[in-house]
Amino acid sequence: MSAVVTATRISLLGFGLLAMMAAPVRGQESAYRPGVIAKADQVLAEVGLKRNGSGFTCRELGELQRAIQGLAKPRRSIRRLADAKTGTEDQLQRVVAELRMTDAQYAELNLRMAQPGIDVLTNNRLAGQINANQIKKKQLSELRESLKQTLTKQRQELADAESKYAEVVLAARQDLQRLRERLDRDLAQPQVAIAFKVHAASFKTPEQVDAETLLRPTDRKLRLIEQEIFRESIPLETSPQGALLVDVVINDQSVPMTLGTNTPIVLLPAELATRLQVTVSPDAAPMRLFQVDGSVLEAREVNLPKVRVGNFVAENVAAAVLLDPGVDAQPLLGASFLDNFRFEIDPAEKTLNLLRLGE
């Protein structure tokens, strides 16, 4: 500690006696002399406080308030990202629906073309329509894949932005708690209590000030922001093979599924899909899933209206249903669900930690 600071500390030891012995200013019986008020200002300044009108402000609290106000900009950015993601999801659903209609038209055209006794003109017209149908299907399929890639990127961008936002909010809460603890200690000092009494007599400020009173407005604002952040730690189980399992609800039925963080899509074996009442349309897009051992599984793509893990719900989740009921495969909770949220897996605690922001 420097000599200057030490001298200041020593001089404050007599502050209480000085305040009690100081004669009031003539005509202001309750007010202290300027020298006593200056000493009181110095005491409060050392604990980060300053008189502001009929109350007191905290220097560190001002910095924290500016940080909280600065959250408005990233929150607006998150809303824009969420709106963009929703727009892409809606567009993807329209393209998928149009693809199904195109497949149905293709089947109908081929059926009409196969009818006996069809004349050459009609045959040529149907052949042209089938050709146009397949061109349209190719274009829609390419658009669907492009939208899927865009959606994956948008989900990741949104999850990253939400995670950073939540980290800033968490840091603000920690800063506020540290400030509260520091103020509780400093405001309990006798010389601080005397300084408040000097100001109360001179400026009609409160005789007693506590951390709760100083921090209440900022704490209220921060709590409103925190209400938008949803976190949940989902307990995981371990399979006999060592895989991490989580309970997933599909069509109001709960089923344990392996966490497939490297799997791009939710995977359902045929028997499980039947039990969960997941319907596979005859014209559903075919999929080929390549296994680590080099084998290939045939599947069909379906859309799950809702998938829930804990209190976290994702809508319109892409899934693959295996066609062969004899295939011994485990259901997987893949990225088509997980990428809707910011998630972390804690293998030691066996928890899946999910985070999202409210609308």
50 pLDDT more than 80? yes
Q: Which of 57, 41, 54 is nearest to 204 (CA)?
A: 54
1 pLDDT more than 50? no
| 190 lies in the same domain as 306 | no
**Mean pLDDT, to the nearest integer, of 204-222?**
93
**Mean pLDDT, to the nearest integer, of 252-256?**
96
CATH of the domain at 323: 2.40.70.10
Total-model pTM: 0.71
The region, left, alpha or beta by phi > 0 then psi within -120 to 50, assigned to residue 27 is left
CB 94 within 8 A of CB 82: no
Among 201, 227, 253, the domain-final residue is 227
CB 147 within 8 A of CB 70: no
| 165 lies in the same domain as 66 | yes
- If 0-12 CB within 10 Å is exposed, 13-18 middle and 19+ buried, where does residue 94 land? exposed
| 308 lies in the same domain as 207 | no
| 258 lies in the same domain as 195 | no
Mind listing the pLDDT tens digit for each residue in 145-169? 999 899 989 988 998 899 899 999 9
Among 185, 205, 227, the domain-final residue is 227
Among 227, 260, 289, the domain-final residue is 227
Joined tokens for residue 115: 């009818």
2 pLDDT more than 50? no
| 212 lies in the same domain as 294 | no
Give the pLDDT of residue 116.
87
Which residue is it, tokens 């017209």?
125
Give the pLDDT of residue 159.
87
**Domain region containing 219:** 1-227
| 111 lies in the same domain as 205 | yes
Indicate the average pLDDT of the chain: 87
Mind listing the pLDDT tens digit for each residue in 256-272? 999 988 888 999 999 99
CATH of the domain at 147: 1.10.287
Give the pLDDT of residue 30.
53
7 pLDDT more than 60? no
Q: What is the number of domains present in the chain?
A: 2
